[in-house]
Structure 1
Amino acid sequence: MAPTSSKRVKNTKLTRHFLIGNEAHLLPHPGYPDPPPENHTKGWKVYVRPLPNGPDITTWLKKVQFKLHHTYNDASRTIEAPGPFEVQETGYGEFGVEIRLYFAPESGEKAVYREHYLVLAPYGSEEQKARQERENLIVAERLETVEFNEPTVDFFKTLTSEDQFNWLKVKKGRGKGKKPEFVFEGDVEPSAQLPEKAAADTGGLGSGGAWSVLYERQVVAQLREAEKVLDASLDEERRGMEERRRRMEELGMAVAAK
């Protein structure tokens, strides 16, 4: 392999979005041991994935280490490119999964850490919970971002190459004797950026299709509204505490006066 250059592209920052999450099913379920191990009620898969219309994740990510709960055999699992970067298991309890991301050698970047809390039970609105139970599918994922400031020259070439979108293309025949071409047939054009609108409505439950600039704005707006509700509740609790303190003082004064 040719030596890589440590020279960096000045005043340049490249961003890559990706998904960290898990899916879970009530056992028995296809693809999992039947019968399942004793006391194991859920089958689950924790993963690191690209966005549905995003560049090939292996252009920058070369290895992922998943650290499971210590009760699992070989609790530290390492998956190398081409992946998929995921670990499948069975169990019954939720826990935090430590995740370490290793970048391409030519990047000259150190590994970074993330964490994902394994979600096995239905969550969200009553409608969302009903759908999850009906489909026997829990999806809990979030959008993550890594930034490469002043990337190396070799890494910059990789991250700006059109080849990183080849995984989204399908081969089309062009007639006898002609070389086939590879074309994209999706609803959302390939891009290293978040699409303005989602390719599909997943009710905010994941699977990648919901992530977009619009959805991100909606989530931020919801968080701000939730913050307002929380602040109002805290103010109400402070007033209640002050009222209880005042009553206790009055009661103490009344007892002392007797």
Structure 2
Amino acid sequence: MPAPAGTKRVRGVQIYRPFIYGTEAIPFDPENRPKDAPPDHTHKWKVFVRGVNNEDISYWLRKVQFKLHDTYANSVRMIESPPFEVEETGWGEFEIAIKFYFVPDSTEKPQQIWHGLKLHPYYGDVEQQKRDRSMVTSVCYEEVLFNEPVEAFYDLLTGGAQVTKSKGGKGAKGAIKAPPTAEIPLKSSGANKFSKEEENKELDRLGEAVKQVQKLIAEEKTKLVEEEAKLQELEKTEGKPIKKK
């Protein structure tokens, strides 16, 4: 019996879509403190989900739910259109639950991840960053995997150039919209550190680390062979040690 319309899956296919998520926080300027911030709050912060290079990801992601700490009024924030982000103020760090709801065509169930809000610098010149009131960022790269997507969603994810309706008058031609992409940028930029360039650098670093480990293993094997040879020589001249019962 054939699958109902809209539920037939593309067998043997896996499609991924990359995105980034994280937090940004900056300490209040004592001379320009937000008037509506509670007296014990010390930072302004933001939690977000976005495309790797700020691309539009709403063609596969319908809405995002952010679950903040229970001390916040309306601690569950549902963001139903881009930008998928929440801005707040606070004084403490905590884990934020981020739940993804995919577009209806996907028929996919929501997925959830967790991310820790970072308010304070934790690497580099920490004291200087505190003095400068530098922005503290904690950003992660992630890929969502759609295993054997339904046909309609497969078309959304992989369709070619799409024609969008023009706002012009009668006879106006539609604009050609570039097809969606799953590729991360080739080069890094100030606003984005996730790129093929950084990926290749990391692969080079891992390759060098593997070489170092292999070198250390070879050196230890050589030492072991030498020690075994010394032991055999001692056993020939001194005899084998007597084992105590």
Taking structure 2 as the reference length, the TM-score comes to 0.69
| 1:129 to partner: Cα distance | 7.2
Residue of structure 2 in register with 1:249 after alignment: none
The answer for unaligned runs of 5 or more in structure 2 is: 213-245
Distance change in 2, residues 1:118/1:8 (3 Å): same
Residue of structure 1 in register with 2:143 after alignment: 145
Distance change in 2, residues 1:76/1:4 (3 Å): farther
Which structure: larger Rg? Answer: 2
Cα distance in 2 for partners of 1:32, 1:223 equals 45
The one-letter code matched in structure 1 to 2:150 is T
The one-letter code matched in structure 2 to 1:159 is L
Cα displacement string for residues 91-147 of structure 1 (whole angstroms, at most 9, x for unaligned residues) = 011111011111111111111111110011123222x87468647322210101101
Root mean square deviation, CA, Å: 3.8
Secondary structure of the residue that 1:59 maps to in structure 2?
coil
2:107 counterpart of 1:108: yes
Residue of structure 2 in register with 1:192 after alignment: 182
**Matching of residues 82-231 of structure 1 within 5 Å:** 82-126=81-125, 130=128, 134=132, 136-162=134-160, 191-198=181-188, 200=189, 202=190, 207=191, 209-219=192-202
Cα displacement string for residues 60-106 of structure 1 (whole angstroms, at most 9, x for unaligned residues) = 111111111111111111111x2211111100111110111111111
Cα distance in 2 for partners of 1:25, 1:47 equals 15
Cα distance in 2 for partners of 1:83, 1:35 equals 25
Would you tell me which structure has more helix in proportion to its own residues? Answer: 1
| 1:163 to partner: Cα distance | 5.9
The answer for unaligned runs of 5 or more in structure 1 is: 172-176, 185-189, 229-258
| 1:36 to partner: Cα distance | 2.5
Residue of structure 2 in register with 1:239 after alignment: none
Q: How many residues end up aligned between the 2 structures?
A: 203
Cα distance in 2 for partners of 1:114, 1:164 equals 32
Distance change in 2, residues 1:165/1:223 (3 Å): farther
Cα displacement string for residues 1-32 of structure 1 (whole angstroms, at most 9, x for unaligned residues) = xx960011111111100011111111149x98
Cα distance in 2 for partners of 1:53, 1:86 equals 12
